[in-house]
């Protein structure tokens, strides 16, 4: 199966592997899709604030960090079509269109972010528990709790993603 016949006319995509590495900020993990071609070539599809959606070498993507390889699946025509669609669109990187959204959309057709879900879920549950005590029901306390528990959710999911 070919990826974007104009770009890779002589390369056949064999499999796609979801990969993670530590992000420079250390707060979250950076997700990408390692594309394994028939002749042993590998590229990584990912998105970042400075370049939006793009392909890079494995070395460039890893940025000196250890890669954690997770889900590996055979390339299907649907996956190739989604890769081509995402490469040809001009969608800007954002919290709601980040590297995890790209990876999940290409693999499953559904754009989701486990890090964002974990952050929001832990933030809501933690803040609700703190709010059970009536003396904690003020804007400053609840805001601090929401933020703190949100960071805790990010930390938990990052550890999950970077574990082997």
Of the CA atoms within 13 Å of residue 28, those in its CB half-sphere come to 18
CA distance 16 to 33: 6
Structural contact between residues 133 and 156, judged by C-beta atoms closer than 8 angstroms = no
Per-residue pLDDT, 146: 95
Structural contact between residues 89 and 27, judged by C-beta atoms closer than 8 angstroms = no
| Residue 37 CB neighbours (<10 A) | 17
Per-residue pLDDT, 120: 93
pTM for the whole structure:
0.86
Task: Convert the pLDDT of each residue in 46-73 to its tens digit.
Answer: 998 888 999 999 999 999 999 999 989 9
Which 3 state secondary structure label does DSSP give 124? helix
Q: b or e along 43-67 (b: 16 or more beta carbons within 10 Å of the residue's beta carbon)?
A: bbbbbbeeebbebbeeeebbeeeeb
pLDDT in tens, the chain (164 residues): 445 545 555 678 999 999 999 987 778 899 999 999 998 999 999 998 888 999 999 999 999 999 999 989 999 999 999 998 998 888 899 988 899 999 999 999 999 999 899 999 999 999 999 999 999 999 999 999 999 999 999 899 999 899 97
Domain boundaries, the chain: 13-112, 115-161
Q: What are the start-end ranges of the H helices in 48-138?
A: 58-62, 77-88, 99-108, 114-131
Q: Is 150 exposed, middle or buried (0-12, 13-18, 19+ CB in 10 A)?
A: buried
Q: Which fold has domain 13-112?
A: endopeptidase fold (from Nostoc punctiforme) (3.90.1720)
């Amino acid at each position: 199966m070919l990826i974007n016949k104009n770009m890779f006319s002589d390369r056949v995509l064999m499999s796609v592997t979801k990969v993670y590495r530590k992000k420079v900020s250390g707060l979250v993990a950076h997700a990408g899709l390692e594309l394994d071609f028939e002749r042993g070539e590998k590229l990584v599809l990912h998105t970042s604030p400075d370049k939006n959606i793009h392909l890079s070498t494995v070395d460039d993507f890893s940025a000196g960090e250890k890669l954690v390889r997770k889900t590996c699946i055979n390339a299907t025509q649907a996956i190739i079509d989604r890769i081509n669609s995402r490469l040809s669109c001009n969608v800007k990187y954002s919290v709601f269109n980040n590297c995890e959204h790209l990876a999940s959309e290409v693999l499953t057709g559904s754009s989701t972010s486990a890090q964002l879900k974990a952050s929001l879920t832990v933030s809501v549950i933690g803040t609700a528990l703190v709010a059970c005590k009536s003396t904690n029901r003020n804007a400053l306390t609840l805001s601090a709790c929401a933020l703190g528990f949100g960071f805790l959710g990010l930390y938990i999911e990052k550890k999950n993603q970077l574990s082997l």
